[in-house]
C-alpha cells in the first residue's frame, strides 16, 4: 500500500494509514478530484448494442458507444461486480497475497484470469492498462473530493488520458446500504440481471441479517464494540462516523467505543492511534479487527497489553473488513458475524 511521504495529509492518506484502519504509519497524501454526488445510470442490458451512460457519485456521467466489455476496476469493485456476473479484464489494488493466493479483497474472483495492474499502493501499470483497451475505469471514493481509490495521484492524468471514462462510487460518510444500491445499479447498467433469483435471494439474506443484528442489539444493549486495527507500533481505534459499515451498524443499534473528536483529529476524524502500552485506554466487550493484509492479524499480535484485554481473554474478537466488497452476498456475513458475536458476548467491560 502507500509509500510514506512527509507532506500534509488528505483524507485519502489518512484512510490508508488507519482511518479505514490498516497501515502502521500515517501515510502519504494524494490529490483530490472534483466531486459531487449524483444519480444512477439508466441503461440496462437491453441496449447492448446502443450507447451506455452512468452518472456516478461525483455527478459525472461516463459515456461509451456500447455497454463496456473491457472493464478495469479497483479489486474490491471488480469483486462486487463479479458477484453480479460482470467480469473485469484488469484490476488494481490488493489482489494477491505474498504467497500468491487471492487477497481478501478479491472476493470470489479467479485472480489468474485478470490482469493485475498494481498490487500495492502507488502501483498502476499504465502500459498494461492501455493494452487492455479499457472501456471504463471504476473505483470507490473514500473522501468528498472524488478521489478515485488506488488511482495514483502522480500518474492520474496519464491514466485518464488513455481515454476510458471513469466511474466513482462513494463509500464516504454514508451507510452501507447506499453504496450497495449504487453498485447494484452500476452492475445493472453493465448488463447484470439484477432481478435474478440469485440476486433477489442475496438481498433478502442481507435484509434478514440486518434484522438479526438489530434484534441482537436490542436484546443486549450494554454490549460495547470497538473497531480496531493493528500495526507494529500502533493500535488504531476507529470512530463510527465516516465508515460505511460502522455507520450502518450504528444505525442498527450497535454501541461503539467512540474516541473523542480531539483524539481523532490527527487521524482526520477517522481514528485515534494508540501506543501498545495504552491499548487498554477504552473498555470494550467485543473487538472488531481489520482483516486486510495490510494489518497485523489478532493471532500474530504478541504485545502483552493486547493479550490482557478483557475482550481478548474472553475470545470476543471478530474480523472486520473496512473496505467491504459491495455486493449483498459479501456484506451479509459482516452483519451475521457481528450479530452472532453480540448474541453470545459476555459483559466484560
pLDDT tens-digit series, residues 271-328: 999 999 999 999 999 999 999 999 999 999 999 999 999 999 999 999 999 999 999 9
What the block records as the C-alpha cell of 77 is 469493485
Residue 152, C-alpha cell as written in the block: 495514483
- Whole-number CA gyration radius for the chain: 20
DSSP 231-280: -SSEEEEE-SSSBHHHHHHHHTT-EE----HHHHGGGTTSEEEEEGGGTT
The pLDDT tens digits of the residues spanning 99-110 come to 999 999 999 999
- Tens of pLDDT along 189-234? 999 999 999 999 999 999 999 999 999 999 999 999 999 999 999 9
Q: How far apart are CA 146 and CA 142, in angstroms?
A: 8
Task: Give pLDDT, residue 48.
Answer: 54
| For range 63-91, the mean pLDDT | 98
Range 145-164 average pLDDT: 97
The reported pLDDT for the residue numbered 49 is 59
Query: Given this model, what pLDDT does residue 273 score?
Result: 95
pLDDT exceeds 90 at position 9: no
Global pTM value: 0.87
- 307 burial via Cβ count (<10 Å: 0-12, 13-18, 19+): exposed
pLDDT tens-digit readout, 153-162: 999 999 999 9
C-alpha cell at 322: 473496512
The torsion of the CA quartet 148, 150, 155, 158, rounded to 10 degrees, works out to -60
What residue spans of 193-239 are helical by DSSP H? Answer: 197-219
C-alpha of 177 from chain center:
13
Q: Are strands 52-55 and 61-64 parallel, antiparallel or unpaired?
A: antiparallel
Mean pLDDT of 119-144: 97
Mean pLDDT, range 107-123, rounded to an integer: 97
Amino acid at each position: 500500500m502507500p509509500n510514506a511521504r512527509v507532506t500534509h495529509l488528505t483524507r485519502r492518506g489518512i484512510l490508508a494509514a488507519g482511518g479505514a484502519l490498516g497501515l502502521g504509519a500515517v501515510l502519504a497524501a494524494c490529490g483530490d478530484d472534483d466531486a459531487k454526488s449524483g444519480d444512477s445510470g439508466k441503461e440496462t442490458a437491453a441496449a447492448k448494442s446502443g450507447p451506455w451512460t452512468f452518472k456516478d457519485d461525483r455527478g459525472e456521467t461516463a459515456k461509451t458507444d456500447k455497454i463496456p466489455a473491457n472493464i478495469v476496476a479497483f479489486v474490491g469493485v471488480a469483486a462486487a461486480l463479479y458477484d453480479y456476473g460482470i467480469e473485469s479484464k484488469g484490476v488494481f489494488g490488493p489482489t494477491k497475497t505474498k504467497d500468491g493466493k487471492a487477497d481478501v479483497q478479491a472476493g470470489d474472483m479467479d485472480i489468474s484470469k485478470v490482469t493485475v495492474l498494481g498490487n500495492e499502493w502507488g502501483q498502476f501499470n499504465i502500459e498494461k492498462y492501455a493494452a487492455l483497451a479499457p472501456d471504463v475505469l471504476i473505483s470507490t471514493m473514500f473522501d468528498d473530493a472524488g478521489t478515485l481509490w488506488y488511482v495514483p495521484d502522480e500518474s492520474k492524468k496519464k491514466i485518464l488520458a488513455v481515454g476510458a471514462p471513469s466511474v466513482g462510487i462513494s463509500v464516504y460518510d454514508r451507510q452501507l446500504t447506499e453504496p450497495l444500491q449504487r453498485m447494484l445499479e452500476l452492475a445493472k447498467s453493465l448488463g447484470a440481471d439484477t432481478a435474478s433469483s440469485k440476486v433477489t435471494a442475496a438481498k433478502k439474506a442481507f435484509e434478514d441479517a440486518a434484522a438479526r443484528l438489530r434484534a441482537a442489539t436490542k436484546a443486549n444493549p450494554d454490549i460495547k464494540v470497538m473497531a480496531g486495527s493493528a500495526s507494529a507500533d500502533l493500535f488504531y481505534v476507529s470512530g463510527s462516523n465516516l465508515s460505511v459499515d460502522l455507520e450502518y451498524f450504528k444505525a442498527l443499534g450497535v454501541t461503539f467505543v467512540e474516541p473523542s473528536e480531539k483524539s481523532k483529529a490527527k487521524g482526520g476524524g477517522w481514528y485515534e492511534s494508540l501506543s501498545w502500552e495504552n491499548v487498554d485506554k477504552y473498555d470494550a466487550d467485543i473487538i472488531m479487527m481489520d482483516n486486510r493484509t495490510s494489518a497485523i492479524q489478532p493471532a500474530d499480535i504478541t504485545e502483552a497489553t493486547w493479550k490482557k484485554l478483557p475482550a481478548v481473554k474472553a475470545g470476543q474478537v471478530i474480523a472486520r473488513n473496512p473496505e467491504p466488497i459491495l455486493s449483498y452476498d459479501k456484506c451479509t456475513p459482516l452483519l451475521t458475524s457481528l450479530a452472532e458475536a453480540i448474541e453470545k458476548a459476555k459483559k466484560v467491560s
